[in-house]
Amino acid sequence: MGSDCHHADGVHPGLRGGALSQAIGAAETRCAATQERLTAPRRRVLELLLAADGPLKAYDLIAAFGADGEPAKPPTVYRALDFLERLGFAHRIESLNAYVPCRREGTAHRAAFLLCDCCGAAEEFEPDFDAQLQAAARTGFLVQTMTLEARGLCPACRKA
């Protein structure tokens, strides 16, 4: 994804240095406030997602897990991803089968993404699902999760 696109370099740079430690610190504070623990594997997976320039697949995370180049055991990464998704620190983009860190501060929310077919950028945005959810509720259906994925071209790729 995005390997032959040169339009959008740096549009979604991963976090580095101080910005990365700040984001990890904020995640630790949020975990503590909800009686959850950001264990070493959870912290490592979150760090890899935050530092990435785009969505990562589970096998990317497994391969990059060890600071010494050692891959992780897959269940370690999958369990950490479950936790990060449950607490809203990360989202799974189903059509890409890949994960991104949540770029919105604060509480859990329904996720929506604008996905660029050219460069692979995934931009999170705030959907307004109220009408749809009310329509579903009127039929008696209980919606538990909902992720909107909209595909197209990002501003940088459109300009090119």
Q: Rule CB under 5 A: which residues touch Zn ion? A: 5, 7-8, 102, 104, 116, 118-119, 121, 154, 157
State the nearest-atom distance from the C-beta of 90 to Zn ion, in Å: 8
Contact 98, 107 (CB under 8 A): no
Q: Select 48 or 121, whichever has its Cβ closest to Zn ion.
A: 121
Nearer to Zn ion, 51 or 157 (CB): 157
The total of other beta-carbon atoms located within 10 Å of residue 159's CB is: 9
Task: Report in angstroms how near the CB of residue 7 gets to Zn ion at its nearest.
Answer: 3
Amino acid identity of residue 11, one-letter, is V
**Cβ at position 53, least distance to Zn ion in Å:** 12
Which residue matches tokens 């699902």?
129
| Calpha distance 96→57 (Å, rounded) | 8
Nearest residue (CB) to Zn ion, 72 versus 111: 111
12 DSSP 8-state letter: S
